[in-house]
Amino acid sequence: MKHVLQSVAALCLTLLVSLLASAQTPAPPPEDGKLRIICFGAHPDDCELQAGGVGALWAAQGHHVKFVSVTNGDIGHWREAGGPLATRRRKEVEGASRILGTTVEVLDNHDGELMPTLENRQKLIRLIRQWKADLVLSPRAWDYHPDHRNTSLLVQDAAYMVTVPFICPDVPFLKDNPVFMYYTDRFQKPYPSQADVIVNIDPVIDKKLDALAVMESQFLEGGANGNESFMPTSPKDREVKVARVRQGHAARNLATAERFRKELGEWYGQDKAKQVKHAEAFEICEYGRRPSKEELKKLFPFFDGSGGKSR
């Protein structure tokens, strides 16, 4: 009898754990013919920094965009850490996603300790399949931060495998390998970022800056490399500091537009390209489906007023 009770208790516990786990993964969107994009970042702010603009543009057209932070960000502050910081940062990205119109999920891996394990690879394979992604975005593998590098490896290792039936057979495999693309970065070795697609984010730059402003632990308070001097000392001081943070973020996207002005011309035409102030750029990963320019225009339906997928 004691054994039976123990087994029942164990079963209840297993069910509870799986219920809690599934509660954290947002339900996949309906199959309504809209685009399905899943973006991976190592920390709760990476996707928002790299794809907040294009995410808002997709969302405004009714496409389904999910930002996944592969770690919980629990050491990303100079004064606080652990569970309370992870909770704070999850709330920050949830606030940002409400502004951008995107969906967000934060995986419970420790910040600074992410490894390209089989378990993590399988987690990402399942997430990409569940979202039935047309397009997957990630960082490149050459980056100062080990979590960024390992996020890139994990996404690269999930590419193609999402189409293989007998890995993670509990989640239906994808018939088509999605298109995989990288965010842009400033690293030069082994080769600098290419802009295979570049998007004018001027129409949503304020929305992106508003979303980033929600992440006070990172940008107002300085994240892991901040200190007491970052903390606002008065409402006026706070205003000044928030304005400085917004300016810094805008400058990154201004620099992207400047750097890839030629590529902007290829997508928007020379005249329009000259007007673009803020941009986000993306590079094709060779391990996903290799898209034609026509397919890229369907995945990024921002260039000629046409909108959405029909594959």
- Least Å from the CB of residue 65 to Zn ion: 19
Q: How far apart are CA 111 and CA 106, in angstroms?
A: 11
Residue 143 lies near Zn ion (rule: CB under 5 A): no
Considering only residues 6 through 65, tell me which ones interact with Zn ion, judged by CB under 5 A: 42-43, 46
- Least Å from the CB of residue 84 to Zn ion: 19
Six-digit token string for 129: 């399949």
Residue 140 lies near Zn ion (rule: CB under 5 A): no
Residue 263 lies near Zn ion (rule: CB under 5 A): no
Contact 63, 33 (CB under 8 A): no
Local structure of 243: helix, strand or coil:
helix
Residue closer to Zn ion (CB basis): 136 or 264: 136
Q: Which residue is nearest to Zn ion (CB)?
A: 43
Residue closer to Zn ion (CB basis): 42 or 75: 42
- Least Å from the CB of residue 44 to Zn ion: 9
Q: How far apart are CA 78 and CA 227, in angstroms?
A: 6
* Residue 157: alpha-carbon gap to chain centroid: 17
Cis peptide bond N-terminal to 169, omega within 30: no
Neighbours of 48 (CB within 10 A): 31
- Residue 136 φ/ψ region, left for φ over 0, alpha for ψ in the -120 to 50 degree band, beta for the rest: beta
| Total chain residues near Zn ion (CB under 5 A) | 3
Residue closer to Zn ion (CB basis): 137 or 276: 137
Residue 132 lies near Zn ion (rule: CB under 5 A): no
Binding residues (CB under 5 A) for Zn ion: these are: 42-43, 46
